[in-house]
Amino acid sequence: MMKEEIIKLDHITYKYEQEDVLEDINLTVREGDFLTIVGPNGSGKSTLLKLILGINRVQQGEIYLFGEKINRFKNWERIGYVSQKANSFNSGFPATVEEVVASGLTKKIGLFRFYKKKHREKVFQALKEVGMENFLHRTIGDLSGGQQQRVFIARALVSDPELLILDEPTVGVDVRNVSNFYDLLFELNRNLGLTLILVTHDTGTITEKATHIACLNKQLHFHGDSYEYEELNNQDMSAFYGHDVYTLKHDH
Ligand SMILES: Nc1ncnc2c1ncn2[C@@H]1O[C@H](COP(=O)(O)OP(=O)(O)OP(=O)(O)O)[C@@H](O)[C@H]1O
Contacts of 38 (CB under 8 A, 6+ apart): 199, 200, 201, 202, 203, 206, 213, 214, 215, 216
- Dist CA 162 CA 77 (whole Å): 9
Percent over 90 (pLDDT), the chain: 51
Query: Has residue 240 got a pLDDT over 60?
Result: no
Task: From the CA of 201, give the closest atom in ligand 1.
Answer: 25
Burial of 155 (C-beta count, 10 Å sphere; 0-12/13-18/19+): buried
> Which of 12, 14, 15, 16 gets mutated to test ligand 1 (max ligand atoms within 8 A of its CB)?
16
The residue nearest atom 12 of ligand 1, judged by CA position, is 21
Query: What pTM does this model have?
Result: 0.85
Query: Has residue 1 got a pLDDT over 50?
Result: yes
pLDDT recorded at residue 88: 59
More confident residue, 49 or 234: 49
Query: Has residue 78 got a pLDDT over 90?
Result: yes
> Which of 14, 36, 45 gets mutated to test ligand 1 (max ligand atoms within 8 A of its CB)?
45
Number of other CB atoms surrounding residue 189 within 10 Å: 20
Query: Has residue 118 got a pLDDT over 90?
Result: no
- Nearest-5° Cα angle at 141, 125 to 155: 30
Dist. CA 48 → ligand 1 center (Å):
10
Dist. CA 44 → ligand 1 center (Å):
6
- Dist CA 121 CA 126 (whole Å): 9
Q: Kindly report, residue by residue over 198-228, the tens digit of the pLDDT.
A: 998 766 656 678 899 899 999 998 777 766 6
pLDDT recorded at residue 245: 38
Average pLDDT over the chain, rounded to whole?
Answer: 83
pLDDT recorded at residue 53: 94
Query: Has residue 233 got a pLDDT over 60?
Result: no
What average pLDDT score do residues 226-250 get? 53
- Dist CA 105 CA 185 (whole Å): 21
- Dist CA 115 CA 103 (whole Å): 10
pLDDT recorded at residue 200: 84
Residues with CB under 6 A from ligand 1: 16, 21, 39, 41-47
Q: Kindly report, residue by residue over 126-177, the tens digit of the pLDDT.
A: 999 999 999 999 999 888 888 888 999 999 999 899 999 998 877 767 777 7
Task: From the CA of 22, give the closest atom in ligand 1.
Answer: 14
Band of pLDDT at residue 251, cut at 50, 70 and 90: very low
* Of the candidates 138, 132, 140, 130, the residue with the CA atom closest to the CA atom of residue 89: 140
Q: Kindly report, residue by residue over 24-72, the tens digit of the pLDDT.
A: 999 999 999 999 998 888 899 999 999 999 999 999 999 999 999 999 9
Burial of 214 (C-beta count, 10 Å sphere; 0-12/13-18/19+): buried
pLDDT recorded at residue 248: 39
The residue nearest atom 26 of ligand 1, judged by CA position, is 41
DSSP string, 17-51: SSSEEEEEEEEEEETT-EEEEE--TTSSHHHHHHH
Dist. CA 242 → ligand 1 center (Å):
18
List, in order of start, the domains of the chain with CATH numbers: 5-85+161-241 (3.40.50.300)
Query: Has residue 92 got a pLDDT over 90?
Result: no
